[in-house]
């Protein structure tokens, strides 16, 4: 099959869950003998090889900054990217049997739909997240939020073959107007299915991810301070970077915790794994997650996770409360500290339970299974 993947970011030039998905999907499809093209924006030095084996990477627009200083997505780059995708597909759409794009940023969906008649390809759309009108207005303000919500509604009404990565997202798709049946892909995990040795933990809490408002990383600082009232040896390491990192560092200093909480930025995978293997728990305080891969990665080491109950947080689907972690009621210092201390009290019993959860679920949450599902559905296109 001739497949065109469309996303405005390319891993590892930018880092995120969707970037990893499209990079991995493209490579796996190419390895299976398919002809794969990846449309994106340029994120590498002009003239350099973007470095995706077996995949023809085409930058339909040049370098553009996607985020405001506060960590919100800008509006102009998605529009420009959509125009670049439209221009490419109007000229070259008949090269492809399949065009597979992320729903967000939405203008690539509109572009692919607009060029479909001339291109004669089938359109597949990944809905990593679906936002309510209330969340759109909170994110962008009333006027811009209403426009964003209306564009999302338009994209949901386009004829497509939709994919999601969480049952919550699939339900939200239909609530917001999607009429096509949704396939929920089972997973994104790329690691080994063999369980790593489960060892006794150290009094160490970890976080790994981007420091953006939705992740609520600053809420970890008072939670660690509260938990140390009962567990004075407790330490924390907060990996990652983003617009709120300076705020996190300021809070660490303000609470007098420079010797307790480390904020090293992005680090290599070996250090993440080494920390994860000995951590008491991984805390993901996000209010909004389309999947929550780090929960699975932590479980592969027998390390339980703490996630937060929130209507936009699909990571809660990966935590069986009390089995491989805890679903906290909120990100308040009291609720997060209580969850950390509960995990400490349960000790090796919870780590063994987490390891058992991983062994049962590893085949289901594997990226290879999702790629198989996608290829099977591609093959059934009319």
Tens-digit pLDDT profile for residues 83-117: 999 999 999 999 999 999 999 989 999 999 999 99
The 3-class secondary structure across 332-374, one letter per residue, is CHHHHHHHHHHHHHHHHHHHHHHHHHHHHHCCCCEHHHHHHHH
Share of the chain above pLDDT 70, in %: 99
Question: Which helix (H) or strand (E) is 377 found in, with range?
Answer: helix 367-379
pTM given for the model: 0.91
The reported pLDDT for the residue numbered 191 is 84
Cα four-point dihedral sign 156, 159, 162, 168? positive
At 114 the pLDDT is 97
Q: Contact at 8 Å (CB) between 354 and 299?
A: yes
pLDDT grade, residue 17 (50/70/90)? Answer: confident
Question: Cα 236–323–354 angle (5° rounding)?
Answer: 65
Which domains does the chain carry?
2-190+366-379 (3.40.50.2000), 204-361 (3.40.50.2000)
What is the tens place of the pLDDT at every residue in 110-151?
Answer: 999 999 999 999 999 999 999 999 999 998 899 999 999 999
The pLDDT assigned to 184 comes to: 97
At residue 198 the predicted structure's pLDDT band, cuts being 50, 70 and 90, is: confident
Bond before 12 cis per omega within 30 degrees: yes
Q: What percent of the chain has a predicted confidence (pLDDT) above 90?
A: 90
- Average pLDDT along the chain: 95
- At residue 73, the pLDDT reads 81
Peptide bond into 175 cis (omega under 30): no
Nearest alpha carbon to residue 358 among 277, 270, 268: 277
Q: Residue 282 forms beta bridges with which residues?
A: 206, 305
């Amino acid at each position: 099959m001739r497949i065109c993947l469309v996303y405005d970011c390319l891993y590892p030039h930018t880092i995120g869950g969707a970037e990893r998905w499209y990079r991995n999907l493209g490579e796996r499809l190419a390895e299976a003998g398919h002809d794969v093209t990846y449309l994106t924006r340029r994120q590498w030095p002009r003239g350099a090889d973007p470095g995706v084996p077996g995949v023809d990477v085409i930058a339909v627009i040049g370098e553009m900054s996607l985020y405001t200083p506060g960590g919100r997505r800008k509006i102009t780059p998605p529009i420009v990217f959509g125009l670049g995708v439209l221009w490419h597909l109007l000229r070259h759409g008949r090269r492809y049997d399949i065009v597979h794009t992320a729903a967000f940023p939405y203008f690539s969906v509109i572009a692919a739909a607009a060029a479909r008649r001339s291109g004669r390809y089938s359109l597949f759309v990944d809905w990593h997240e679906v936002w309510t009108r209330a969340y759109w207005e909170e994110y962008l303000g009333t006027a811009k939020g209403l426009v964003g919500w209306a564009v999302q509604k338009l994209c949901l009404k386009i004829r497509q073959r939709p994919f999601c990565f969480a049952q919550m997202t699939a339900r939200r798709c239909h609530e917001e107007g999607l009429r096509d049946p949704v396939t929920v892909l089972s997973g994104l995990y790329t690691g080994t299915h063999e369980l790593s040795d489960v060892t006794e933990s150290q009094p160490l809490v970890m976080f790994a991810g981007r420091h953006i408002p939705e992740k609520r990383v600053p809420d970890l600082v008072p939670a660690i301070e509260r938990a140390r009232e009962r567990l004075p040896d407790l330490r924390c390491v907060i990996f990652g970077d983003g617009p709120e990192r300076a705020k996190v560092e300021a809070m660490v200093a303000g609470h007098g915790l420079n010797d307790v909480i480390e904020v090293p930025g992005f680090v290599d995978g070996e250090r993440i794994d080494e920390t994860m293997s000995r951590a008491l728990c991984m805390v993901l305080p996000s209010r909004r997650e389309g999947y929550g891969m780090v929960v699975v990665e932590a479980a592969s080491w027998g390390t339980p996770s703490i996630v937060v109950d929130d209507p936009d947080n699909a990571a809660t689907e990966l935590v069986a409360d009390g089995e491989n972690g805890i679903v906290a009621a909120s990100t308040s210092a009291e609720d997060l500290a209580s969850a950390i201390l509960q995990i400490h009290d349960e000790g090796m019993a919870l780590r063994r339970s987490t390891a058992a959860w991983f062994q049962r679920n590893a085949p289901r949450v594997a990226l290879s299974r999702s790629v198989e599902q996608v290829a099977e559905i591609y093959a059934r296109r009319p």
